[in-house]
Amino acid sequence: MNRIPNHPILGEEKPGKEVQIFVDGRPIMASEGEMIAAALIANGIWINRYTAHKNKPRGIY
């Protein structure tokens, strides 16, 4: 997983319990209490859907 353990403004991340969640049938690791979008990005999943008309990729924003 790719995370920022020591952020210059937010400070040091306290290690949380690791949990496993499933996205499209694929297991990924997340920290307990973490937003799902953050867990997806930390695991390299940047595209969440594709637009209906032009089939363009869309992320969490």
Mean pLDDT, residues 34-50 taken together: 90
Spell 3-42 as b/e; 16+ CB within 10 A means b: eeeeeeeeeeeeeeeeeeeeeeeeebebbeeeeeeebbbb
CA–CA separation, 14 vs 47, rounded Å?
Answer: 28
- Name the pLDDT band for 3 (thresholds 50, 70, 90): confident
Full-model pTM: 0.73
- The DSSP annotation for 5-27 comes to SEETTTEEPPP--EEEEEETTEE
| Predicted local confidence at residue 60, as pLDDT | 80
Adjacent-strand bridge partners of 19: 30
Mean pLDDT, residues 35-52 taken together: 91
